[in-house]
A and B are shown apart, each in its own frame.
Chain A
Amino acid sequence: MSWFVRSAALVAATAIVAYGVATIEERTDPRWLVLLAIVGLLWGIALWPATVRQAHPVDRAMIHVAAVIGIGFLLVATQLIRAQALDRERIQSRVVSTGTEVVADPRRQVLTPESRRGRILARDGTVLAETRVGEDGRSRRVYPFGPAAYLAGYYSPALYGAANVELAYDGALSGRTRMRRLGEWIDGILNRPTPGYDVVLTIDPELQSEADRLLGGRAGAVVLLDARTGAVLAMASAPTFDPNALSVGTRATPEELEAARAYWASLQQSNDGRLVLRATQGRYPPGSTFKTVTLAAALESGIANLDTLYRDEGAFTVGSRVIIEQNRPDPNRVSYTLLEGYGYSLNVVFAQLGLQLGASRLSEAAHRFGFGESIPFDLPVTASVVSVDTGYLTNPAGLAETSFGQGELLVTPLQMALVAAAVVNGGEEPVPFLVEKIQTASGEIVEQHRPRAWRRALSPETAMQLEQAMRWSVEHGYARGAQIPAAVVGGKTGTAEVGDRPPHAWFIGFAGREEPQYVVAVVVENAGSGTEVALPIGRALLERALGR
C-alpha cells in the first residue's frame, strides 16, 4: 500500500481514538468498542506488512497472522492507556452504594488518611463539616452546625459512602480539582499525598438557622436564593438526618459501626424520606403558585393581558368536572381582570385561561421555566413535571386543573424559587449554586464559581408584567401578609389539595430594598393554607435577609 494511504489511515485512527477518548467515558461502551474495531482496521491498513509479490503464500499467511495478533496487542495497549492514564481519576472516584454496602476503591481508605480530607464551610467560615482527630488518634468526620449539616451530607467510607456535598465534591475534598490538574498529576505520579481542599458554600448561617427555626421541624422545605446570581443563601429541609450518626471512619470500633447501622436502619424504617433533600428532590403539587406559570404563558402568547376581563360566577363546569370557586373577595362580583384573578387566586378565571391557552402552549411555557429537566445544581435534583401521564393535558378537565396548579403537576421547591427568580430577573433564570469556591486550607482560592444564566423563561416585558402582578398580590391581594415596611415585595401563595389529608401550604415571593434582591420558595406538607402557614415563613425569612 502506498505511503499516502498508510499515513492517511494512521491519522484517521489517531483522530478516532482522540474523539472516542474525549466523548465516551466507559471503556466498554459499545460505541467505544465499535470505534476500536474501526481503529483496528485502520491500523491494519497502516501497518500491514509489505510482502514481495513472489513470496510464498504460506510465508505471506504467516506474516498476516502475526500482523493481526500485533494489532490485537495495540488495541490492548489502547485500553491500558485509558485505564492507567486517561480515565484514571474517573475510575478511582467511582463509588456505588447498593443500599447496604458500598463498592469503592479500597485504596482510598488505606492511602488517604481521613484527617487530610478538606472541610466544608459556610460563606462566613462557619464549619459545616470537618475531620477531627480524637485523643486515641482516630479521626472522625463531624458536622458541628446542625441547621446545615444535612446539606454537607455524610461521609461514611466504612459503610454508606457519601452523600450531598460530601459526595458531589468528593474529588476536591480529597485533593483533586479541575484547575490544578498538572500539579496534582505530578503529585500522583510521584505518589505524593495531596491534602484535601476546603469547599465553601454560599449558605448564610444566620439565614439558614432562621429558615430551619421557621420550619420548626414540620415536614417541608424552604429555599432562599439571591435573585440575581442564583446563590443559595438558605436551604432548609425537614425531616432530615444527622450525619454525625452516620459518619464512621475506616478505623471505627465495632460499637460505632453497630450504632451507625442501627441509625441507618431507623432512617429506612421511619419511611418519611429523611435521606431525601426535600428542597431539591421533594415533588409536590404546586397549588396556586403555579398560576404564575399559567399567567406567564398567557401574557407571553398574547391571548390576554393583565386587564382582560373574565367572568367568575362561583363555579365552572368543564366536561363532567365542576370547579367550585372559594376565593372570590366579594361573592356578588362576577367580573375580574386577569390581574385581580391572579391576586385573589381565582381558580375559575385560571381554568378558563388554561382552556383558552391549550395544552401545548401551557406545557411549553412550563418547559421554558425548566420543567421536565434536571436543574443543574451541586446536589441531587429531581425534575419537575407538568403531568405524569403524557395524555393528561389533552383532557379539558385535566388542562383546567393544571392551569390553577392541581392536576398531575409535581414540582420541587427549588424549581418554584427559580420561577420567582425568572420574574424578577428580566425573564432569565440563573443557575442555582451552593458551592461558592474551592480553596486550600490556608484560604488560597483554587476555583471560584461564576454566576451563569441557565435559561430564558420569559421576555423582559412579560417578566415586568408578572413582577407587577406578584407585587399587586402583596399590596392588594391575598398575599397582603407578606408586606415588609420600606421594601419592594411580591409573592403568590398556594394551597395544594392532596386527597383527604390537609393541603400543602406554599409561598413563593421576592423582596428587596430598591428592587427585588431575594427570592424565596416555601412548602409545608399537609399544614393548611398557604396564606396562614407558608407565607409567614417566607416573609420572615425575606425580612431577615433584607436586614443582613
Chain B
Amino acid sequence: MLRNSPPGSADIGALERKAKRLRRHMLTMARGQGQGYIGQGLGIADALAALYFHELRYDPHNPAWPDRDRFLLSTGHYSIALWAALAEAGIIPVEELVTYGADNSRLEMSTLDTTPGVEMIGGSLGHGLGQGVGQALGLRVDRYDARVFVELSDGEMQEGSTWEAAMSASHFRLDGLVALIDCNGIQADGPVVLDMEPVADKWRAFGWETFEIDGNDMTAVVGALAGARERNGKPTAIVLRTLPGKGVPRIESSEKSHFFRIDVAQWDGIIAEFEKSAGAAQ
C-alpha cells in the first residue's frame, strides 16, 4: 500500500525513469494496434508517473479501497496512458497491455469503467470534473481525507459543463479536489481550434488555487502536486503545458498527432528514436 510521501521527498530521477517506462509501454501498445492516441499519452506520461508513483494513495491489491485517492481520466481517449500507469502500478497485468484496442480487450481505446482502477467512463468530454466534484463531496460527507484528482484537457475547457463544475467546486470549498489540465495545444480539428488563453487566469477567476507549469518537467509537476496538498478551502488547478508526443521527436513534430496512425514498418524506427532520445536525456 502506498501512502502519501511527505513533500520534498520525491526521487525525481526515479519518477523520470517511471515516466520513461510508461512511454515505452505506450509505444508498444500503439505499435500493436498500428495506431492510437499516442501523442497525448506521451505528453501526459510525466504527470501520470508523478501521480501513480508519488502522490496518489492507493492499494494495488484492492483498487476499490474506500480510503484511496481517486484519479479520474476525463479524456477517455488518453486511455493508452492510463493502462500503462495501471500496469506499472500493479493494478492490471503488464502482459495485458498488448491487447490495447483489440476486440474483447478491457483496455479500450476510450475508457469504460469496467477495468480495475478506472473511476469513470471518460470520452464524452466535459464529464470528468463534475464527477470529481461529486466524489469529493461524497468523501467529505463521510469524513474521508482521501483526495480526488481529475485530468482534463485544454480542448475540454470548451465544454460548458467544465465551468459548471469549476464554479461548484470552489463554492463547495473542495480543497481535496485537484484538476490537472493537460494543455497540449491540439484538438480534433487541429491546433488551437478555439483559443482558451489565458487558461490559468480563468481558473483563478473561478476561485481555484492555480499553478501553471511545464507538464514535462518532473520537478515542476511534483512541486505543483505538493502545493495542492494544502487544505485552504480552495480546489487546486494545475495547468500542465505539455508537448504531445514528448520523447519521440518524429511524433513531437507531427501536425497530425491528435490521432496517430503509423505504418507497421515505421514502428521500429520510432521506438529506436524514443530509446535514443530517452537515453540521451538521462
Q: Are both chains from one complex?
A: no
Binding site for A on B (CB under 8 A): none
